Amino acid sequence: MQNNIKMSMLSLRTRIFLSMIVLIVVASFLLASISIIQFKTEAKEYHQERLERKENAVKEHINYVLSTTTYPLKTGNLDLIFKDKIHELAQIHKIEINIYSLDGKLLKSSKESFAVDKVAPPIPVYILKLVRSSIEKRFVDIKTIDGVKNRSSYSLIKDEKFKPLGVLNLPYLEDDGYYDNELNTFLIRLSQVYSFMLIVAFALAYFLSTYITKSLKTISDKLEETNLDQKNEKIVLEANSKEVNFLIKAYNGMVDKLETSAVKLAQSEREEAWREMAKQVAHEIKNPLTPMRLTVQSFQRKFDPTDPDVKQKMNDYSETLIQQIDTMTAVASAFSNFASMPAQQNETLNVVEVVELALDIFNEDYISFESDEDEIISKMDRTQLIRVITNLVKNATQAIPESQFNKSIVVTVKRRNNNVEIAVKDNGIGIQKMDIGRIFEPKFTTKTSGMGLGLGIIKNIIENYKGTIIFESTYGKGTTFIVSLPITNS
């Protein structure tokens, strides 16, 4: 299981490379194994055929001797018949010859007299039975002594009337020196050839794997760059592989579908956002209308021109209506600001100075300003930058409870790479984990008043400048909003 996981973690290029190398190594191993088996088979067949040829030649010679002898052809005379001839036969055919009686006793041997045991061992009974029972009246006994194969053939000696006279034994020692030398020579040449092939295979596997995966690497890079919220480029590539071309065609088709889906999704999100916003605005406008209606109806029922306090009641009535009208005006203004942002009026300005000036409208003495530099020049809309700062600082002041003794809001400006980073840090109540993911939702707010459009508005402003806004918050300790805007000088 672990090997499969490790193999699957390898790249396609590496797997192609390793597969070709393994293929060459396995092929060389198989060829060497087959060659060894073939040489051993040929050696076995060679020795078997050579022993048969020698046996046939010796038997023909023996038959000739039997046909020309003056001794009666019977088993007891075999030692006399081959007394001198057996050494001549052994020298001619270059093989040891032993002649046994039908019951397995040695009668005559071509060995020198001093090499023959005084009491030579007889032929085992099971071999005699195998010789007699075989169709050819012949049996070859094979034994391995000290790692060397020894063949020994046993066959019947017959007279001209095919009557058995004795048993011919030809011991044969297999000499595989020639085949061993041939095999070693072949294996050396095979290793040289396959070593060269292995080097060629390394180079070929490297270039072939690179060539095959080049198109896939291009597709992989494009897939990594593919995003729903941007314009995705198609792959303009004509690969030599039909499968890769199908993959490229499928990717380009996916890009077209993705673009269509992105347009539909954006339209759907806009429609949904406006529907939700319309519900929220209707709700916020509806809230002051009810007390206004009740106030007018109450005034209509209780109005008395002769009442000495009529002037005071008129003032109270007017203030109530004006208060509710101001509430509706604030709702309409907030909605208008969110719905249509004013066009950017970019100008070259000192961000540090503008941020510090934006804090002057706040009277809280616990608001402090810090900056590593006196001047960070960029080109942006002064009004929108002030709006971002005032909104964040206002939210920070509202996040600190009135009853809290030690209050602190720190606004810092610093340069980070090619961006200007503005941080607003407070020690208020912080944001609960359940609300973290909804902070920038247009209609979300944790306050008892307002529509929750402030952070949504400044997020739009920041994103229009290709900037980012993030926050870090610990509930009960405070929150830090960090705005990062690119420094643009042109």
For 353-374, the pLDDT digits (tens) are 988 888 877 778 899 999 988 8
Spatial contact of 449 and 394, defined as CB atoms under 8 Å apart: no
The pLDDT of residue 69 is above 60: yes
Specify the pLDDT at position 464. Answer: 83
Nearest CA to 219 among 233, 200, 209, 208? Answer: 233
> CA gyration radius for the chain?
54
- Work out the pLDDT band at 193, boundaries 50, 70, 90: confident
* Options 3.30.450.20, 3.40.30.10, 3.50.50.60, 3.30.1360.170; CATH of 96-173: 3.30.450.20
Torsion angle defined by CA atoms of residues 239, 241, 247 and 253, in that order, rounded to the nearest 10 degrees: 50
DSSP H or E run through 140:
strand 138-145
Q: How far apart are CA 474 and CA 402, in angstroms?
A: 19
pLDDT-above-70 percentage for the chain: 69
The answer to whether the pTM exceeds 0.85 is no
Spatial contact of 420 and 377, defined as CB atoms under 8 Å apart: no
The pLDDT of residue 8 is above 90: no
Enter the CATH code of domain 346-486: 3.30.565.10
Of 456 and 386, the structure prediction assigns the larger pLDDT to 386
Q: Is 305 exposed, middle or buried (0-12, 13-18, 19+ CB in 10 A)?
A: exposed
The pLDDT of residue 103 is above 90: no
- Work out the pLDDT band at 421, boundaries 50, 70, 90: very high
Strand order from edge to edge, sheet including 478-486: 367-371, 409-416, 419-426, 478-486, 468-474
Average pLDDT of 393-411?
A: 89
Domain parsing of the chain, residue ranges: 10-68+176-216, 96-173, 242-339, 346-486
The pLDDT of residue 182 is above 90: no
The pLDDT of residue 3 is above 60: no
Average pLDDT of 248-270?
A: 71
